[in-house]
Amino acid sequence: MIVDTPKCLGSEQWLGQCPNINFGSSDCPVLGEDFGVFCYDEGVEVRLADNASPDSGRVELKLGGMWGTVCDSGFDVYDAQVLCRMLGYDGDASARRQSGLSSAEVVWDLRLDCLGDEKNVQDCRIRLLNRTCPSSHTAGVTCSFGRGRVDADLRAALGNLDCGLPEDSSNQFLTRLARVRGGFPPSRFDTPWLVSLRRTNPREESLLCGGTIISEDFVITAAHCLTRAGRLNTVIRVGDYNSDFTEDSEQDYFIDKVWIHEYEDEHGFNDNDVALIKIERKNGRGIRFGPRVKPVCLPRCMTTMPN
């Protein structure tokens, strides 16, 4: 063993030219942390198998002259978008775990990590998995020539929202004194989509985590917040500017359901650290919106985020 991270740039002729190589020393003493590589000279081909329709099916890649399925570990819509682009589709794409057993020769124990705008999976980051992927845990995609359906479905689920626009608070306060030089304190109206997750305890109530409103029924937060406390011991508080005072704009909601990312902590602490919360409605209504409580705007599907 040499080092944990050689930090190679990829243009080196041999491993010893990598900038972080230090022969004779090791910072990776734990057994089982050794790494492997897969080498091939040919390009990558893709096809869909076990498909009920021409634009939907199990993903199969041809690597080194052999066809194999792709493990669904971490497989997401960005990976699906690139694979569908290789198949000639330029519209929406969705990813899923393909049901049933594959008849392919092998299951490639690798994880794709595409950004969604690559033209070929060879341009994506690819990580070899250090475990065997079951043949029933393979990736499937549905490709389309049309655009906008995913966004339309999402907006239909969330409803027509006046999102992401805080109230003008310029006239709400007489002074804007700041303790940070050149800065200013946020007003009570600047971030109406923020919520606090609070631990309920008969003897003591404490602040647990933060979250963001995305609709009158749904809040998004970090997954580890729920794994530590559990939904029955947590309430969602909206409209809270200063947790040390009661401001008559707070609303508390119990949690109805929680969906934690299926690959949370799969490859390390806080990996895929996201959870979706459905609040428990009161008198048939969800979160009440107003100047101090509003949802945030969500990006459209496949939006390229700035670096």
Residue 271 has pLDDT above 90, yes or no: no
Give me the percent of the chain exceeding a pLDDT of 70.
73
Q: Give me the phi and psi of 43, to 5 degrees please.
A: -80, -175
pLDDT of the residue at 173: 47
pLDDT greater at residue 176 or residue 183 = 183
pTM of the model: 0.54
Residue 87 has pLDDT above 90, yes or no: yes
How does residue 304 score in pLDDT terms, banded at 50, 70 and 90? low
Q: The domain 45-147 is classified under which CATH number: 1.10.357.10, 3.40.50.2300, 3.10.250.10, 3.40.50.720?
A: 3.10.250.10
pLDDT tens digits for range 45-62: 999 988 778 889 999 998
Residue 192 has pLDDT above 50, yes or no: yes
Q: Is the dihedral of CA 116, 121, 124, 128 positive or negative?
A: positive
pLDDT of the residue at 133: 78
How does residue 28 score in pLDDT terms, banded at 50, 70 and 90? low
pLDDT greater at residue 81 or residue 35 = 81
Asked if 42 and 34 count as a contact pair (C-beta separation under 8 A), the reply is no
Domain ranges of the chain: 1-35, 45-147, 160-279
Give me the chain's average pLDDT, please: 78
pLDDT of the residue at 64: 79
* Site of tokens 């602490």: 269
**CATH match of 160-279 with 2.40.10.10:** yes
pLDDT tens digits for range 212-258: 999 999 999 998 888 766 677 789 999 888 777 777 788 899 999 99
pLDDT tens digits for range 109-141: 888 888 888 889 888 888 777 667 777 788 999
Residue 106 burial (C-beta neighbours within 10 Å; 0-12, 13-18, 19+) = middle
pLDDT of the residue at 83: 93
- Decide whether 45-147 matches 160-279 in CATH topology: no
Give me the percent of the chain exceeding a pLDDT of 90.
20
pLDDT tens digits for range 165-176: 777 655 554 444
pLDDT of the residue at 175: 47
